[in-house]
Every structure is written in structure tokens, then in C-alpha cells.
Structure 1
Amino acid sequence: MPVIEIQRVPGLPKQRMEVLAGTKFSEWIETAGVHSDVRAIINGRELQDDDDVDFTINADDRIIIFDQPKNGGLAKTLLNPLEHFNPIKFTQKVMGSFMQQPNAGGAAGQSKTSPNNSLKGQTNIARNGEARPDNYGLIRAYPDLIQQAIFEYVNNKKEVTQFMNFGLGKYDISQVRYSETNVGSMAGASYTIYQPGDVIATVYEGYEFDDVDGQEVPGKNEDTGVPIETATATTMISGNYAGGQIAVKIVKQAEFDYFMGLTFPHAVSFVLNITYPVPGGTKTEDVTLFANLISAVQTDDGAVVSPTFYYTFTFDSINGSSASYITTATINTTKFILNDNAALIVGPFFSPIDSDQLWVHTSSGLGGNSETNWQLQIWKVDAENNQIPGTTQTFTYRQTTPHDSTSETFYRTDKITPAAGRGRYSLSFHRTDNSSDASKLEVEEVHAVNIRTNVSHANDTTAIIKVRATENSTGRELKYNAMINRYTISYSLTTQSVDYTLRPSRRFADAVAHTWLVMGGQPESNIDLYGLYQIQAEIDAIDPRLGRFDYTFDDEDVSLGARLQTICDAASVTAFWDDGVMSFVRDKKRITPATVFNRNNTVEAGYSLSYDMTLPGGFDGVEVQYRNPSTNKQDFIRYRISNGAIVSGAPVKAKKFEMMYVRDAFQANERALRECKRLIYSRMAMSITALADGEWVGVGDMVQIVDTYDTNQQSGYIVSRIGNVFETSERINFSGSMFVVVTDYLGTPTARYPAQPLPDTAFGFSAAIPNIELNIYDGMNVQSPSRYFIASSEELDATQWEITDKTPGTDGTTALTVREYSDLIYS
């Protein structure tokens, strides 16, 4: 027979349920009493969003249901008794849980659900099993819920307490709001921020009873005398009384299956035929007894073939007009009728976890001179929800009204510390007076509460928000938010040392250093912090807004390197590994090339050259998506290219940049214009394989590469120099105005200088180049001579390239990928 296990509370034993082979899973789960966002494991495989749930359960199937809501939806989604009459409603809820909800995350590569990154419907949610937010810069944050909200009624007002987590690290927090309303302006509202290491004096961990949802407790006058369920035994085996309990054994029959599925104890009545002594003899009669059904067990006669099955029912707390006869009576096997007479009892309800206290919330709707009276019975239960003997307690309550004629609803919270101590408890409610339109009692909610003292979170910034709830709340989503600015470490260019003092910052370099050193735990030796902060200083000198980073990392699967590249991209900086060191380069205008590559320091292998006759990729403009600081939603900067000019407007085919880690229009606009210029002025790409010189250049460097197939781009090496006369290894053909670039002994190119031909030889030129140190080849001490590159000014411009990728080879060569460089991109 198939077995289905349900894990309702982590750490507690699974509930085992047997179903008939051939049952449809969709039909079974509709009646299983589970939440709407369960996880189902079918024979070791988790049921996915697109899987069909209308399959047939086979005899050897093993199914595990994890009924532990993760989505923060703590509203009452459990099937309640009224929904037995409307199964379609619950089916829709269950089917909805298997359908994937759209992810509105705005950043490429981010797949988690932090509302800080959401583009729509930003709310406070519980993100169980996901990474805690790691925020940088200045953002509007929607903190995560870290436990269920807990409430209590004080002076007839509902006071709700929310416990929330802003994320890892320390923050400067301001503008705490509910949606757009300042929390401080809301009646009865307050909040407290706890930075990492701060001590929270008292935390109340409350867990709602899922099966309590405003049940009305009927009055004594609502008892119709008609049992909810009744069953009569056709074959009674035995009846015995001992120790204040009665056990009745019958042959199994379907009419009694209802009682086998009850939770115990359960108030019932039953009819027996007994014979008891009276003066002068005995008397035999039918008696009706009232008791608690505390056990229902199925057994068999042990036969291997066609065994006979039995039901044994055990009762205690026996009372009734004939209860006194039972102690001396003989229970006959001629009659047994069992009735469920618990119509007036609401419950039992079962605690989801072990707890120290029970908070019971009730409301009494009273007219003038009215009151409600009720009894609350609690008892401790084990993992199987069986009552633990000796733990029952009964509490009596009364609610009155001071009004003689007007109506009012009175709300109250009664806090109970059970005498049996910490554990799971079951509760039932029984009203001891009559009800009417002017006297209604409802059980609003019950919380299992644990009390923690002196709580401290070493790495997180948390908040406790208390608000006064409205009496007729519509149950809207939570939208608490605040402006938060992350505290980070920094670096001093003067002392060339890390400053580990935490300060609020929006600078991308501080975010990089903090992510790498503090969050990543990496050593200072494998990151070029000096080069990083030189770039930050360059940006700050132009405009600090170009070097900001404002974003939340909420996906622990994103690598440390990927996080650094995201941070750097906001400032148009590239992070890359260079000989085991994380290095950085900014996309900016270059004054002089880093070096010159020609046929003397390159090889033919791996060479390629491509050119786009139209705008690259067919794009006719750029679209940059960023986060609008006012709306906290996505916004767009769009430019199109028309007749070689950049104009504002939406292009037909845009090159798109998703940059939700930018929340400044100035920063986004600068990036959009620069990318448009790159479309216009950078249409060529090349791959070359360089010799040893390729090791000394890096990603982002501007270099000059001679096209060996272009006769007007001439290069070679310097043989000798006398004053301004240079002797060369190659013949030079002058045509029009020519300019020359020469490398010094370190391979660093000079600026461009006009070059003239020599009157007595074609192997040389004359140029007023400063007296730089040159490498002159001698075959022994100098084997890498200084090189020259001579061409027209236009041809020299055409030889400027920007390195986009560098891959060292195993044979001493370096593969370089470059794109066309132009100063006009940065004008």
C-alpha cells in the first residue's frame, strides 16, 4: 500500500498516512489538510512547477510532503471545515502553489527574491533558505521577516510586533516608512533598530495555531441534542471497566471509521447494556454515559489468511445519571452505540511547536448588559498528538460590558504558562452560557510563544516594529521600508593601507574592498587596492556620481568574482585576474599607447580582423535600465543614432544594459551616451598572438598594432641614432605627411613626432624626438631593440586598439583580443 509522509514541523516525526493504490494525487492532496505552498518529493524527485499533479499513486510509490510554508504567507491557508463544502476553492489554492510565480528581480544573473531587487510589488517577506541581504551604497530596503508577526490585545487595541532583518553588516538607517507613510506619524507605531552586536532585551517568538481562524464558540442554547455522528455495533466482543476507564471491543465495521480518525481526547456519549446489583437481585438496562474518547485502536486475531479485525475504544472522565452503576456492573455484549456529542466544543487545536506560553486571543461581541462565559481546557500532547496523562488544566473566563444599551466588541489576550511546562499543547473551548445576537464569542487566534532574553545578532542589522492594527484590517501586504546606507571599510592612498574603520559609503571601491576582504575573507595581497583607489580618485575628480554603487546581493550562489564585476560595472570598471592578483581598469580616454605590436613581437597564428559595415550588431541605439531613486522602480535612458548623430528617443533595436545597481540618472545617462559613441566609433575587432611583450600589457590598455598587410603602416627597429637622425632596419617609403612613434628601452611608446626622409638613404628618418634611452640590438646584451612605427596621422589613429581579453599561453605567447579605440568615444 502506498505510504505518504507529511513533515509539518521541522524536527518532529513525520505523519504517516496510508492511501489506496489508484488514488489520484490531486484528489488526495485536496483533502489532506496542508498549506498552499507544500513541497512534494515523489520517489526521491521533487515535484516541479510544470509537473502534472493529476497522476495516479501506485502501490510502491513513496511520497514525502513538506508542509512548511516558506513564502512568508502566514495568512490562514489551511483547509478549514467550511471548505469541505467547496473543494474547488482549496484545489485552486493547491494548484496555485505548484505554479511558479514570476520573478521580478531586476539584475542579470540574480535569481533570488529579495524585495530590494524587485521591480514590482515590493513587500516584506520571509525568505527561508535564501541568503541574507548583503546591501551596499544607499538603497531603499524592504527588510525580510525573520519570524511570524505576534500580536496581543491591550486595552481593547490590537498591537502587532514585527521582527525584521535589513541584512548583513551595519547601516545608517533613515526614513523608516510603511509604503510612503513615515512610521513615526502612524498612531501607536514605533520602531527600534538593532545594529550588529546590540542586545535585544526580550524577544517573543510566536507561532500561530494554523487551525485557529476566528471560530465562533456556540452557546449552550445551540445544542440540538442530535449527535454529529452515530454508529451502532453489529457485533460487540467485550466491555470492561477498570481504573475509571471503560474499554469496548467490537468487530471492525465501516460505521465506526469516523471515530477512528478523531483527535483525542474527544467528548462523546455512548449507550451500553449493563447488569448491576440492586436490593433483592440484579437489574439489566440500557444506560447512556458521557465521557472522553481517549483511544481507538485496530487489532486482528492473528490469522494469516482472512484475519478478523477489531476496533477497541477506550473512554475516561465518565459521567451521566447511570455512571455510578458502572463500577459494579457487568457490561453485556448486546448493545454498543457511539455518538459524537461535541457540537458545542470548539477544538481541539494543536500547537505547531514546543513553547513556554500560550497566548489566547478572543473577541466578545456584546450588546447592552450582556456577557460571555467560557472554559478553556488545555493538555500536553506527544509527537503523535496523544494526550500526556496528568497535564490537563481548565481555565474559566468571563467578559462583561459596561454599556447598558450600546454594542461593542471586546478583544482580549489571555497569557497562559502551563503547569506541565514547555511542550506542545492542545486546546478546546466550551461556552458555559447561552449565545445570542448580542452575545457572541469568537476565538481569534492562538499563539505558541517562546520567550528569549538578551538576544544578539553579531552580523546583522535587525528591527522591531510595533504598530496598532485597525479593527477591520483588509490584510494587505506588508510594505515597511527604509533608506539604508552600508558601513564599509576603505583604503588610504597616502599610507597605502586598509582603513578598517566602518563608515557609510556609496563608493564602488569601498564596496569592492569590503566585499573582497570582509565578506569574502580574502587576503590583501591578492587584490590591487592601490590601483583600485587610484581609479576611484580619478572618478571623484570628474564627478563622484560616476563612481557609486547601490545594490543588494541576495543570492549566495553568485561567486565573489562575479560580485566584484557587478560592483565595478557601475563605475565602468573591469575587474580581472592578472598573475594571481585581482586587478582593475577603467573605461576611459588613453593619452599614449601602452606599447606597439608589429611583426617583430607577434606571430601569424591566431590573427583575425573583423569590421562591421553598419552599426555593430545591427543596433541603432542604446537602452540603459537603472533604478529610479524616487520611485525605487526601474527607469530607462534611451538614445538612438540617426545619420551618425546621437538623439534622445527609443531606438528600433537597442543595445540593452541592465544596471539596476545604478540609482542615479546622471550615472546612467553618461553610460548610455558613451555606449552610443562606441557603436559609432568602434566597429573593428582583432585577435593577435603576441610574444613576450604581451605579458606586460593588461585588459583595458590602449596599444598600437601595425597592420602588416597595409603598406602605408611601416615598422621595424632602430639600428642607431645620431642626434635627430635614426637608422632603421627596414626601408621607409614616404608619402605625404608622416609621423613616427618610437619605443624606449622599457618598450614605452613616445608621442607622435613629424618624420622627414634622409637625403642619402631610404633606411632611416629624421625626427625631433627627445633624448630617450633606446635599446640598440647587439646580439648579446641587447636582443630586444627599440621599435619604430611610421605612418600618416590618420593611419596612426587607425592602429589604436583597446585590449578586451588577455590569455597567456603555455609557450610564452599571449593571445590578445582587441577592439577599435577612438578618443571620440570619450569626448
Structure 2
Amino acid sequence: MHARAGVKFSEWLETAGVHSDVRAIINGRELQDDDDIDFCISADDRILIFDQPKGGGLVKTLLNPFEHLNPIKFTQKVMGAFIKQPNAGGGAAGQAKTSPNNSLKGQTNIARNGEARPDNYGLVRAFPDMIQQLIFEYVSNNKEVTQFMNFGLGKYDYSSVRYSETNIGSMAGASYTVYGPGEVIPTVIEGYQLDDVDGQELPGPNESSELPVETATANTVVSGSYTSGQVAMKIVRQSEFDFFKDLPRPSPVKFTINITYPTTTGSVTQDVTLTGNLINCIESDDGSVTTPVYYYEFIFDQLNGPGVPIETATINTTKFVLMQNSGVSVGPFFSPLVSSQLWIHTQSKLGGNDYTDWRVDIWKVDDDNNQIPGTNQSLSFHVQNPRDDLSDTFYRTDKITPLAGEGRYSITMTRTNNSHDRSILEVEEIHAVNVRTNVVHPDDTTVIIKVRATENSTGREMKYNALINRHTISYSLSTQSVDYTLRPSRKFADAVAHTWLVMGGQPENNIDLYGLYQIQAEIDAIDPRLGRFDFTFDDEDVSLGARLETICDAASVTAFWDDGVMSFVRDKKRTTPATVFNRNNTVEVGYSLSYDMTLPGGFDGVEVQYRDPNTNKQAFIRYRINGNSIISGSPVKARKFEMMYVRDSFQANDRALRECKRLIYSRMAMSITALADGEWVGVGDMVQIVDTYDTNQQSGYIVSRIGNDFETSERITFAGSMFVVVTDYLGTPTARYPARPLPDTAFGFSAAIPDIELNIYDGMNVQSPSRYFIASTEELDATKWEVTDKSPGTDGTTALTVREYSDLIYS
């Protein structure tokens, strides 16, 4: 783009369409933080703009023209939209992005896959997230369950570790270990359940004939052959055989064929049924282009049959029946992912002196569940009831480390002794297991809980929880420096500082920490309970600015941007106004005034919802307004405040009462457009605004001062007792002082105002003179307003939204 000579650089930059991450080099020199950008471009200037978009908005939406009057940091001019951009989420904390910590009913431990890890502050009753499936094993006939869970980001003090309402310490065989960020976890057992295993019973050989089978009978057998321990049967393709074509291989099957074999008395032709493994199915055709005939050729090995000489027999083309070989085998089951171990959990329900025998066959498989050759392994197991006079159930976990190494495995289990009603074998579950050692989670607090499960568990929900207190950084007012030592804290200011500097990774120079901790000190001097914040952030999409707003709201503090710096103001009683606005520093555009004859919004009371510290559920503080009185009870139409980040009734009650008083004593709202002075007030400031349409409120600027006599720019009409407020050279108002008329002119007043430095207009060095505001006491009180919103314009003005201020709100 080309810039026209004589245009201000700031104005050109607004129209250039560049992004917020931008570098500007003027005549070979890069603009620095403290450089003014309101200079005029000359014809000889050479300007290089390096646009470096990183997700920010356009500069034109960020620059504040009023700032051009001052050498304000260039980098701050292009970051006004920053508050809504960065996230403080520490990972990807799936539900509807809601941690059980924030749930209002039925808190349980859940796996919140793909969501942000919990970011807790203050003191919360935490239900840690599951970070993997639970893993268990049977030890000495007891089921020992291990849970790996995550309390959240950061370091915590912890206490009152429970299952639901029961302390873990009172549960038989239960224990827990907490590992903070960076601490070494000696062993982590990652177990992945095989979903298709769910308490299947393993039938004995005596039950095989009773089991259902899948059967397909060939209409046309093309050929049959035996070679090197394998039988190959080729048929014309039929849809009935598609089931067997798609089986993972090898698969145990039965098949019936017709054979002819020689004997000493002559040839014998008969049907025989063989068992074996289906190891392949070859698809082919006869090569015809127009009407091809398609074939299936099934190949079997591991043959077992009725004892006929199959190796010397002729396989006839008269019969081929293929059946799923249920037999006494259960499976195959397939592990869901690569693992180094297989844990098989079984139950043997045995009468006196009874026993179970079984075999486990495993082999490694590829992604299509086909066998990888050379990985077969077979293991045998035996369990016996040593008592001959007592029935019992024997629980067992067999940990297999396959000889073929890490991989996905197929598992088939076969009972090898007969079963009956006093000898029942069940496979309860199978886990694919990886064991990790010396594991470190650098940012999270992990808890490992071990419990002994009941024998006949009904599968209750998991409700492990603990009271945790976040460790945060802090700030020293005396040294005006950040203290990065982590300590347990419930203070809202510590939560703000930690969220901004540590979790958000922002620099210290764009947050007013000194002002923040002054507010915390003020609150602590009244009652520390009013400055607490106890909450879990569980959604990484919530911006850094939104998090600060939530934290501050618990302490009745407002966070807002002021000149590129995150600033704070507390909702409290104000003794003096921040400045005075009258017709000399406002314009008529945008002016409006509203008044509610009844309670604002039709509300007749307030309802504050907070978190009960004992039940961890929502609780309510309700007040209704009767005239100018506040009565405990439910209003008809309540103004509702949902503050689940407050877990103290004292804190919630203080907020409820103050909001009731605001309904009673703050019924007017106003919008004004201020000139340059509007930039210097902030959200939460109490200001005085002269009603230009009220003759009893008179204002103007100071022309001169001699002693206690002030000459003014406007005529003053005195009526009764009048009081005056004057602004000094910084625009700061004085207190109220009695004012009397001057004997020789109507353009002035006499008041015993201290010897403050004034701005007297001279047209050159001083262009913003000190102002006065004179009225009765009642009129002065009626001019107090609280700034609720501030929006700088593009023409040097600032739009302010204000609401009626009253000391009675804070009484």
C-alpha cells in the first residue's frame, strides 16, 4: 500500500488492514514500545510493515485515537482484542466439557476424553478424572482394583480422601498415593479390556455336541486333495460360504467330506468328519471373459478325525459340509491394541475335590486379525479345590508375557476336562497390559487408588473424591514483585496472578498486580472470606479474560482492559469522585437518561446460587424487598446470580444483600460521550456528572484564583446553601467546600479550598483548564454515578455508561 504525505501514521495504520502482530520500520529504525505513532508521514519517509498474523484482529479495531496524544506503547496499541484470545487450558479437560467437580448432582469419576484437564483453584471437593481403564488382578483369591486418576493441573494439598462419603482409610484393603507434578511414579500399569470378553463359560468336551454351529453345504465340489498334513477343498462359490471366507485365520472348524480308501477287504467309501484350523480361503475364477465361474478353495491344517487313513484316501467330489467348530473352545478374542502382556482373569466354581483344566492358545495378528506365522504359543492351567467337603469359587489372574513379544494377539481358550454343575469355568475378563516404569507427569497431580473389591459387586458407580487446595504463586506489595513460590491459597488475587502468568504465560507488565493485591489487602482487612475463589475450570475454550472475570466476580471485583493493561476495581464505597463531567468536556451525541419508577427490571429480590461446602451441591441465599426493607425469603421475581465458584455462605450472603440494596438505591442509568477526560476514568470509578438541563447544577472552568476568590467562565446563580468541587491540574476533584458569591461579579465564587495546583487556560501550554461544579448538597449527591462500561471511539471521544451511585448500597 502507498501512504499519502501529510497523513498521520496512526490513521494510515488503521486503514492498512494489517493484523495485530505487526512490526513497523521507519527509515531503517524499528518502532519500539515507547515510541509515539501519531507522527505525520512525509514524502521522503520509507516505511516497512511486517504483518505477522497469529490469530489477532485487525489493527483498526485495536487502535484508540485518544492514545495518540500520549507516548503509549506501540505493542499495546495492537493487542486490544487480546483478552478473548489466549486459552489457559492445559490439555485437550467426553462429556459436555463439564468436570464432575462442577456437576450439581451425581458426581462420579469419569473419563473426559478429548477435554481439558481440570484447572482447580482454592479449596474444592474434587472428583478426579479417570485417565485410563481400571485394572484389577486376583491375589490370594481377592480382587485388587487399581485406579489411575488425575486431580488436575498444578500442585495441591489434599485431605478427606473418600469413596462417596466413606473415608478411604476405613475401607478394608484400600490405600491411595498422590504424585504431584514432576514426581516419579514408579510403576504405571496400563490395562485395556477386551470388550468381547464378558464372563463366558468354557464348556467341557462333554458339552460340545449341544453347542450350535454355523453350517454351509456345497452344491458343486470341484476337487479335494490332501498334501503334507493339509486338506484343500475347491468349490463353486456360494453365498453360504461367505461367513467362513471372512473368518479371521486360523479359525477352528469342522468339515465333512466323502472319501474312498483301501482296506484288506477292498475299497471303502464313506463320509468322515474332521476337525482342524481353517488357514486360508483362495478366491479364483475359470478365466472366462463373458461368463466366468468363481471358486472358493478352503485349506485346513491341524487335522483330527475318526482315525481313517486320510493321507492315502481319495477325496471324492460328492460332498463338502463346513461347520463352525464351537467344540470346547471359546474365542478367538482379539486384543484392542499392542501390548507386552496378557492378563487372563478366570473363575472356577468347584465342589469338593473338583478341578478345572484348560488351555490358552495365543498368536500374534496383523491389522486384519490374520495370524502372523511362527507366533503360536500354547499354555495349560489347572485349578483344584483342595477340600473334599466344601464348595468354593477360586479366582485367578494369569499373566502371560508372549514369547513373540509386543503386539496384538488372538486368544482362544479351551477347557480340556469335562464340566458339570459342580465344576464350572468362566473367563471373567482379559486385559492387554503394558507396564511403564518411572513415569513423570510434569504438569498434573495424579492419584493412584487401590481397593479390594467385594466378591459379588453390583458394579456401583465410581465416586472417589478428595478435598484439594491449589498451590499458586503470589505477589508482595512491599517489594512490588511476583513471588513464584507455590503455596496453598484460596485468595482470588493469587488465582488471578497464577492464571495470567503461569497458566496463560503472559508477561507481568500487562497486568496491574499492585492494584490487584491492594484490593485483596482491603478485602482481607474486612473479612478474608469475602476474597476467596474456589472453582474448577474444565473447558479449554474459555478464554483467559473470561477466566479472570469469573475469578474476580467471586470477590465482587471487575477485571477490565485499561490502556493495554489488565486492571481491576472493587465494588465498594467511594469517598471522592474520580473526575467531573460537564458540558465543557462532554458532547451531546449519545446522551441518554433512564429511570425506573419501580424496582429495576421488575425484580423484587435477589437469589444467589453458590456451592454448599458440605454437600458439594448448589445452595441458595434468597432475599425479597418490601418497600425499603430487605427480608429473608423467596421473592416473586428474583434477580439471579449463579456463583458456583463461591463455597461459603458468608460470601454469598454479602453479595445477595449488596445486590438487594443496589435494586433499591440504584434506579437510574445514563450514557454520555466524553471528550479527552473520558480516557482517564475506568470501569468501577465513581464520577460526578453535571446534568446540563438542570439549572441548579452549574459548572464551567476556572479563569483565575486570588486567595479564596475564584473567577469563572460562567455566570453563577446562588440559591440557598451552595457547595463547590474543583479539579486540580490532573483532573482530580477536591472535596466539597461551602461557596459564597463574590460581591462585585456574578462570574465567580469564594471558597476556602486548599492551595492546589490549577490548570489555567492560556491557549498554548494549557488547553484543558481546571473545572468547577457548584450546587446544593442534595444536587451534588444526585450527580454521583458509577462507570459500568467504557468504549473509546475513533474520534478521540469515549462513550461511558454509568449507573446511579449511592453510599447506602455499601452501608
Report TM bin, short chain: 0.7 to 0.9
Alignment equivalent of 1:398, drawn from 369, 372, 382:
382
- Counterpart of 2:666? 682
Q: Residue type matched to 1:758 in 2? A: L
Note the alpha carbon deviations across 1:778-822, whole angstroms, 9 max, x for none: 333333222111111111011111111111222221111111111
Contact 1:289–1:322 (CA under 8 A) maintained in structure 2: no
- Counterpart of 1:308? 293
- Counterpart of 1:453? 437
- Counterpart of 2:367? 383
DSSP-derived class of the 1:116 partner:
helix
| Structure 1, 804-813 or 275-284: larger mean CA deviation | 275-284
Contact 1:376–1:430 (CA under 8 A) maintained in structure 2: yes
Q: Are 1:667 and 2:642 matched, yes or no?
A: no
- Counterpart of 2:327? 343
Identical amino acids, percent of aligned pairs = 79
Alignment equivalent of 1:615, drawn from 575, 599, 605:
599
Q: Residue type matched to 2:312 in 1? A: T
Q: Are 1:765 and 2:741 matched, yes or no?
A: no
Contact 1:690–1:816 (CA under 8 A) maintained in structure 2: yes
Unmatched runs of 5 consecutive residues or more in structure 1: 1-109
* 1: CA distance, partners of 2:289 / 2:527: 88
Contact 2:145–2:453 (CA under 8 A) maintained in structure 1: yes
Contact 2:223–2:316 (CA under 8 A) maintained in structure 1: yes
* 2: CA distance, partners of 1:303 / 1:516: 75
Residues 1:255 and 1:780: Cα distance change in structure 2 (over 3 Å): closer
* 2: CA distance, partners of 1:248 / 1:726: 119
Residues 1:226 and 1:676: Cα distance change in structure 2 (over 3 Å): closer
Contact 1:353–1:424 (CA under 8 A) maintained in structure 2: yes
* 2: CA distance, partners of 1:738 / 1:124: 68
Note the alpha carbon deviations across 1:205-258, whole angstroms, 9 max, x for none: 111110111111112222337762333211001122223221211112243344
* 2: CA distance, partners of 1:805 / 1:226: 77
- Counterpart of 2:502? 518
Q: How many residues align?
A: 717
Contact 1:227–1:339 (CA under 8 A) maintained in structure 2: no
Q: Residue type matched to 1:118 in 2? A: S
Alignment equivalent of 1:317, drawn from 283, 289, 302:
302
* 1: CA distance, partners of 2:807 / 2:299: 93
- Counterpart of 2:109? 124
- Counterpart of 2:187? 202
- Counterpart of 1:245? 230
* 2: CA distance, partners of 1:227 / 1:671: 71
* 1: CA distance, partners of 2:206 / 2:266: 41
DSSP-derived class of the 1:224 partner:
helix
Alignment equivalent of 1:149, drawn from 134, 147, 151:
134
Shift of 1:644: 1.9
* 2: CA distance, partners of 1:590 / 1:178: 49
Shift of 1:302: 4.8
- Counterpart of 1:508? 492
- Counterpart of 1:812? 796
* 1: CA distance, partners of 2:790 / 2:240: 80
Residues 1:644 and 1:625: Cα distance change in structure 2 (over 3 Å): same
Contact 1:535–1:585 (CA under 8 A) maintained in structure 2: yes
Note the alpha carbon deviations across 1:344-397, whole angstroms, 9 max, x for none: 211111111111111111011111121111112112111111122222222111
Q: Residue type matched to 2:203 in 1? A: P
Note the alpha carbon deviations across 1:279-334, whole angstroms, 9 max, x for none: 698654433322112233444445555543322211110122345x3333332222
Higher relative contact order (CA 8 A, sep 6+): 2
Contact 1:158–1:470 (CA under 8 A) maintained in structure 2: yes
Alignment equivalent of 2:124, drawn from 139, 142, 162:
139
* 2: CA distance, partners of 1:358 / 1:421: 11
Task: State how 1:110-509 maps to structure 2 within 5 Å.
Answer: 112-224=97-209, 228-276=213-261, 284-303=269-288, 305-322=290-307, 325-509=309-493
* 2: CA distance, partners of 1:355 / 1:321: 40
Q: Are 1:638 and 2:646 matched, yes or no?
A: no
* 1: CA distance, partners of 2:291 / 2:504: 67
DSSP-derived class of the 1:223 partner:
helix
Q: Are 1:553 and 2:534 matched, yes or no?
A: no
Note the alpha carbon deviations across 1:654-696, whole angstroms, 9 max, x for none: 1111111111111111111111111111111111111111111
Alignment equivalent of 2:568, drawn from 558, 567, 584:
584
Q: Residue type matched to 1:799 in 2? A: T
| Structure 1, 546-555 or 379-388: larger mean CA deviation | 379-388
Shift of 1:261: 4.1
- Counterpart of 1:714? 698
Q: Are 1:571 and 2:539 matched, yes or no?
A: no
- Counterpart of 1:724? 708
Q: Residue type matched to 1:698 in 2? A: G
| Structure 1, 701-710 or 221-230: larger mean CA deviation | 221-230
* 2: CA distance, partners of 1:365 / 1:279: 51
Residues 1:266 and 1:782: Cα distance change in structure 2 (over 3 Å): closer
User: After TM superposition, what 4+ stretches of structure 1 lie above 6 angstroms from structure 2?
Assistant: none
- Counterpart of 2:767? 783
Cα root mean square deviation, aligned: 1.7
Contact 2:211–2:327 (CA under 8 A) maintained in structure 1: no
Residues 1:802 and 1:227: Cα distance change in structure 2 (over 3 Å): closer
Note the alpha carbon deviations across 1:130-171, whole angstroms, 9 max, x for none: 000011111010000000000000000000000000001100
- Counterpart of 2:36? none
Shift of 1:588: 0.8
* 2: CA distance, partners of 1:458 / 1:340: 52
DSSP-derived class of the 2:514 partner:
helix
| Structure 1, 296-305 or 538-547: larger mean CA deviation | 296-305
DSSP-derived class of the 1:780 partner:
coil
* 2: CA distance, partners of 1:655 / 1:644: 17
Note the alpha carbon deviations across 1:511-536, whole angstroms, 9 max, x for none: 11111111111111111111111111
Shift of 1:723: 2.3
* 2: CA distance, partners of 1:773 / 1:232: 110
Q: Residue type matched to 1:220 in 2? A: P
Q: Residue type matched to 1:701 in 2? A: D
Q: Residue type matched to 1:578 in 2? A: D
Contact 1:287–1:322 (CA under 8 A) maintained in structure 2: no
* 1: CA distance, partners of 2:211 / 2:122: 68
Residues 1:691 and 1:231: Cα distance change in structure 2 (over 3 Å): closer
- Counterpart of 1:75? none
Residues 1:784 and 1:411: Cα distance change in structure 2 (over 3 Å): same
Residues 1:773 and 1:190: Cα distance change in structure 2 (over 3 Å): same
Residues 1:818 and 1:302: Cα distance change in structure 2 (over 3 Å): farther
Contact 1:227–1:341 (CA under 8 A) maintained in structure 2: no
| Structure 1, 804-813 or 222-231: larger mean CA deviation | 222-231
* 1: CA distance, partners of 2:288 / 2:635: 83
Contact 1:288–1:322 (CA under 8 A) maintained in structure 2: no
DSSP-derived class of the 1:574 partner:
strand
Note the alpha carbon deviations across 1:473-507, whole angstroms, 9 max, x for none: 11011000001111111111111111100000011
* 1: CA distance, partners of 2:293 / 2:530: 83
Q: TM-score, normalised by structure 2?
A: 0.86
Residues 1:733 and 1:302: Cα distance change in structure 2 (over 3 Å): farther
Q: TM-score, normalised by structure 1?
A: 0.84
Residues 1:226 and 1:624: Cα distance change in structure 2 (over 3 Å): closer
Shift of 1:271: 2.2
